[in-house]
Amino acid sequence: MITQREDLVAGHRVMRIEEDGSFRGCLLLDGPLVDGGSGISLDLGALEGLIGDGWSSIASPRQVHGDRILAFHHDLPMDPAPEADGVMISCRGAVGAMRYADCVPVLLGVRSEPLIVGLHSGYSGTVLGICERALDAMEGTVTDWGSVWAWVGPSVCGGCYSRRVHDPATARGMRELHSSRWRVEGDLVYFDIKGAVVDQLRSRIPAPNVMVSPLCTFEDPSLPSFRRDRTARRMALLFGLPKV
């Protein structure tokens, strides 16, 4: 069973995500992280208060709103940070780090298997099907989709995210996403990106194994929202497989 709970670490709100009591990841909700555009710079020692100790490497790609998923291993060069919007980790002691301000944070894991995947699924990534790419990449490990769990974090909701109807990228979203996930109001099209992400995940993962946070980054003033106020602040998702 997937659980999420909020905690305070050094005065900052943290959402911890666990599965059957095993720690998997955390989302730093209101930390001072500022978007530098080239990955998250974190000292390994700074992780201890958030996700414990025993970590030996960090994988933080340069996010570009695409569908590439980085398969991380300890000797993979991370300087300069490679371009990717997902990180797949199967080696223990490695931490994935990604940032968000309205886009959808996604965590995927397999019970009793050393595999965890973190995704940054914004509008473009969702239209490109980054969640489906991740599920495809997991095929070699997964023998039973009932053993796979997913967590979908705080992001902008379908009532707050809109695009101009005549934008070519908008038309692609209307073609690729189910019609229940968008609606036209005047010259705007409102997209339920989080709902579309859930659709992609539930195409293979049983619905009870998918946990969805109801929080909207645009509506909650305590959360970073680029669409609301063009902030440079970001939420940070940290995830990994601790050493045993």
Q: Which domains does the chain have, with CATH numbers?
A: 2-155+209-240 (3.60.140.10)
The residues facing 116 across adjacent strands are 89, 109
Three-state secondary-structure class, residue 55: coil
0.85 exceeded by pTM: yes
CA 184/CA 204 separation, integer angstroms:
29
CA 36/CA 91 separation, integer angstroms:
27
Which pLDDT belongs to residue 93?
84
187 exposure class (CB count in 10 Å sphere: 0-12, 13-18, 19+): exposed
Which pLDDT belongs to residue 44?
55
pLDDT tens readout for residues 94-114: 889 999 999 999 999 998 788
SS3 sequence of 95-130: EEEEEECCCEEEEEEECCCCCEEEEEECHHHHHHCH
pLDDT tens readout for residues 10-54: 777 889 888 776 667 889 887 656 555 555 655 555 666 677 666
Taking the CA atoms of residue 203, residue 1, residue 143 and residue 92 in that order, the dihedral angle to the nearest 10 degrees is 110
* pLDDT of 201 above 80: yes
